[in-house]
Amino acid sequence: MSKGDEVLKGELVGINLEVVDAKNKACIGIKGKIIDETKNTFTIQTKDNKRKMMHKNQVVLKIEKGNKEFLINGNLLKSRPEDRIKVKNKW
């Protein structure tokens, strides 16, 4: 399994991210830590302690895992976390 697969199949809660592209251009540049995830959304806690909920299918993320960064289209994450872990490489 490649490191990219580990990010896509792994637990996202607790991972730091930055929104690098979004349908809502006001979301671009938001940085923080994922604190909750559902099938279609995730909630980010920003450094100034605000919570932002975003639709997965509307964003492109830069995710930090370990000392590496990955660009991930949110559409690839659009499933329940427990189901995403079971899926064989559809990406």
Q: CA 71 to CA 74: how far, in whole Å?
A: 9
CB 11 within 8 A of CB 59: no
Does residue 87 lie in a domain region?
A: no
Domain extent, residue 14, equals: 3-80
pLDDT of residue 87: 59
Does residue 39 lie in a domain region?
A: yes
pLDDT of residue 1: 38
pLDDT of residue 12: 85
Q: Please report, for the domain that includes residue 22, its CATH number.
A: 2.30.30.210
Query: Could you read off the pLDDT tens digit of each residue along the chain, which spans 91 residues?
Result: 345 666 677 788 899 999 999 999 999 999 999 999 988 999 999 999 999 999 999 999 998 877 888 899 998 888 776 776 665 554 4
Does residue 74 lie in a domain region?
A: yes
The pTM (predicted TM-score) of the whole model is 0.80
Tell me the residue length of the chain.
91
User: Which residues are paired to 54 by β-bridges?
Assistant: 42
Question: Which tokens is 24 given?
Answer: 């809502």
CB 84 within 8 A of CB 76: no
Does residue 63 lie in a domain region?
A: yes
User: Which residues are paired to 33 by β-bridges?
Assistant: 16, 45
